[in-house]
Structure 1
């Protein structure tokens, strides 16, 4: 019998990662055991913000936690190749949101920003096509 598919919201993913609410964690675990779960890049971006801002986790811990979460059977990113590139750029030093923006555009088109630090960091981690206007 095929598993029903569900999309996970940020709060469900965070419960699974940090286990700070036992009742919600149990419900989320049951969901993982009975459904095929999909996670969008936007949810992962919000998870990163919560894990960094509220739980005070460092970049490497967050990147590893998200990688391990996405390796669970019946859990997948909406666009797995794109999300793997986002996580790699994030672990290498690019802001998570900037990595999402850079990798959601077509590869042969530029992402234009006034944020010169973003342009430098993108180049440093091998993300091409991020530039200032002009």
Structure 2
């Protein structure tokens, strides 16, 4: 390990060997302490991802893409009978879902997306087919 340079990769991953960018108390054996503690708390370590410049508003077409992708990735939700539209950051969900929990799950997923200002959930519970 003598004179070894840290390898490229995300801090704290084993690809970073021999440098550890996390808290010293959880540093695996054989790792050197890195330059920064990426798990530190406080205003200096507040995550800035998702924040845009002053006055920036995400375009509706990007929000539509993100909503469609998020609904596609929901493991317990079938978005096959849904449609999505966005106007001024407000998302409207139309169509049918199998259960009330799916309606709630879809709305919660939408509200987590950066740039969404509101969600008009017009999803209905599909009639049972026997």
Normalised to the residue count of structure 1, the TM-score between the two structures is 0.29
Q: Give the structure with the higher percent strand.
A: 2
Greater C-alpha radius of gyration: 2
Greater helix fraction, Structure 1 or Structure 2: 1
